[in-house]
Structure 1
Amino acid sequence: MTLKIGCIGLGIMGRPMAGHWLAAGHDVTVWARRPETVTTLLGQGAHWADSPADLARQVDVVFTNVSDTPDVEQVLLGPDGVAEGARPGMIVVDHSTISPTVTRWLADTLAERGIHLLDAPVSGGERGAVDGTLTIMVGGETAILERVRPLLEVVGRTITHVGGSGAGQFTKACNQLIVAQTMVAVSEAISLAEAAGVDPAAMREALMGGLAYSRVLEVHGERMIRREYPPGFKARLHNKDMAIVLRAAADLGLPLPGTALSAQWISAAVGLGHGEEDSAVVAEVLRRLAPPGPMNGGNRSPLATAEQE
């Protein structure tokens, strides 16, 4: 049976995902707070809904991809929200990155109305959304996931069922803390190379062939060296995600010291006005602390110099 699709949240990630479903021949209905964001999709054959509730009345499965926890609550359970128009048996797939605790509450609340919720946050950034190669980590009922898996395969390369409700969001939290800490590590490596007068591009190329390789070093490292930060993932959104990670850890009584430190670097980048740039811009925060120009020790022994001082 072909499922009719509804899409809410049509920004950097949601818009190309909806485009892939349209290109694959699916019936897609859209709603956005800013109608101008869906002009291209309407030109590709998408239908417009006047509200989330109106959208829910027309479709079998709703995909949400919005910024934060309150936004998901609003579009699902708020006035004229999805729940008001949904029929029993409807599936909601939330691709947003939000609180795992609230996700479980949303799943329970929607279940009382006969609505199934899968928490399915994604990784891969704008490039992954455009290419249809996202990694999708799914929490919720296995049987419900299998009903929508063909749709997820249109936009994702790797789809993993990680457990019950909320497990997808906890897994995304794990992803975000690894990315953040790795990004700070790459920033520090570049700062060290620059301070020492070593070509950071050559340093990165050398490390790409060894154990230090990561996608962060490959993708974000190049951005840091070029000092160009078009948003694949905006710093303000990464900052929001890190707050979710730390809140979830606090709820569990779990210390995450490395995560807390990397979160501060991202928060500093936002505070310095870089919130709309890619979160790799943390490299610029570190550069502000670096000494001016490469160090110049000549042929003198650093140890001897330290002893003389």
Structure 2
Amino acid sequence: MSNITVIGLGIMGLPMAKNLVAAGHHVTGFNLSQDRIDELVAAGGHGAGSIAEAVAAADVIITMVPDSPDVAAAVRGDDGIFANAKADALWIDASSIRPDVAAELADEARAAGLRVVDAPVSGGEQGAIDAVLSIMVGGTEADFASALPVLEAVGKTIVHVGPSGAGQTVKAANQLIVAVNIQALAEAILFLEAYGVDTDAALKVLGGGLAGSKVLDQKGQKMLNRDFAPGFRLALHNKDMGIITAAARQAGITIPLGAHVAQLVGSTVQQGDGGLDHSGLFKLTAAASGRN
């Protein structure tokens, strides 16, 4: 089994690290807040006081941090991964960042003597807890093959989608689909409630037909209960929608629904709801109709 370091023990990174421990790997974690490191240690992992310390003996390094600048900060500099990881270590970036940044950092990683894949994930907190994440991987065939045994400890659907940056491109498309589905689900639930329909029964039958989706399965009840405890925060989805809209503009394509939903997601964040689960987009939809 490998010596694996996980940088970023947040909503997704911590359960992923715990599953790697359960799979028999020697797992070291680093996080900006000590309590998350302590939780990993309690689960059988190990903690480190810096990135440099965390990666020194690692065969595999996984980063799971919020945004492109956070990944860049973790890998560059005297205390970063590139300067302190041993030669031929495998860096797996599971963060969701800009595809062009992923490709740029992959080139830097190879120049530093590392192997690298971008491997963003989908499935939310519960998918991370249950080790059933969908993982879209960019990089060489050889590096994908090296990463696969590690990724199989945290995910269920793991697909090599192309060269460095391709994983992030597919993740951006994933976030576009998810955001539009969440908005459509919010509107449907508001519509059902306006007519006094048994919403639990309605979602059950809708889930069995063509309208069924994982978004409906995982977010429908949260909207009914007005329970927006974060599994994936709106602030992060707002960041992702910025990635997809910018990338679409760069490619010269239009995404009318995506652009509109991106504005709605951005509005929720500007109104102070960025810490809510992305199903909290329902709040904005309800408020537009004078409901709550």
Could you say which residue in structure 1 is the equivalent of 2:131?
132
CA contact (8 A) 1:103 1:165 kept: yes
Could you say which residue in structure 1 is the equivalent of 2:153?
154
1:163 aligns with 2:162: yes
Matches within 5 A, 1:56-205: 56-205=55-204
CA contact (8 A) 2:38 2:47 kept: no
Residue 292 (structure 1) shift: 6.0
Deviations 1:170-220 (A, max 9, x none): 000010000000111111111222223333333322312211111111221
Distance in 2, matches of 1:160 and 1:102, equals: 21
TM-score computed with the length of structure 1 as normaliser? 0.90
Could you say which residue in structure 1 is the equivalent of 2:19?
20
Distance in 2, matches of 1:242 and 1:218, equals: 22
Of 89-98 and 205-214, deviating more is 205-214
Distance in 2, matches of 1:215 and 1:23, equals: 26
Relative distance call for 1:203 and 1:43 in structure 2 (3 A) is closer
Residue 144 (structure 1) shift: 1.2
Distance in 2, matches of 1:248 and 1:88, equals: 33
- If you compute each CA radius of gyration, which structure gives the higher value, 1 or 2? 1
Distance in 1, matches of 2:222 and 2:191, equals: 16
Could you say which residue in structure 1 is the equivalent of 2:32?
33
CA contact (8 A) 1:224 1:280 kept: yes
Letter in 2 for 1:136: I
Could you say which residue in structure 2 is the equivalent of 1:253?
252
Distance in 2, matches of 1:194 and 1:33, equals: 42
Distance in 2, matches of 1:237 and 1:136, equals: 18
Letter in 2 for 1:105: E
CA contact (8 A) 1:137 1:168 kept: yes
Could you say which residue in structure 2 is the equivalent of 1:219?
218
Distance in 2, matches of 1:179 and 1:78, equals: 35
Relative distance call for 1:291 and 1:77 in structure 2 (3 A) is closer
Of 59-68 and 206-215, deviating more is 206-215
Distance in 2, matches of 1:200 and 1:272, equals: 28
Percent identical among aligned pairs is 43
Distance in 2, matches of 1:177 and 1:267, equals: 14
Distance in 1, matches of 2:254 and 2:217, equals: 29
Matches within 5 A, 1:3-14: 3-14=2-13
CA contact (8 A) 1:67 1:237 kept: yes
Name the SS of the counterpart of 2:242 in structure 1. helix
Distance in 2, matches of 1:13 and 1:210, equals: 30
Relative distance call for 1:113 and 1:212 in structure 2 (3 A) is same
CA contact (8 A) 1:195 1:290 kept: no
Of 281-290 and 246-255, deviating more is 246-255
Residue 291 (structure 1) shift: 4.9
CA contact (8 A) 1:101 1:248 kept: no
Residue 266 (structure 1) shift: 1.2
Letter in 2 for 1:220: K
CA contact (8 A) 1:53 1:83 kept: no
For structure 1, the residue ranges without an aligned partner over 5 or more in a row are 294-309
Deviations 1:89-114 (A, max 9, x none): 11100010000000000011111111
Name the SS of the counterpart of 1:154 in structure 2. coil
Distance in 1, matches of 2:13 and 2:93, equals: 11
1:279 aligns with 2:268: no
Distance in 2, matches of 1:263 and 1:203, equals: 27
Distance in 2, matches of 1:247 and 1:282, equals: 21
TM-score computed with the length of structure 2 as normaliser? 0.95
CA contact (8 A) 1:139 1:163 kept: yes
Name the SS of the counterpart of 2:196 in structure 1. coil
Letter in 1 for 2:158: I
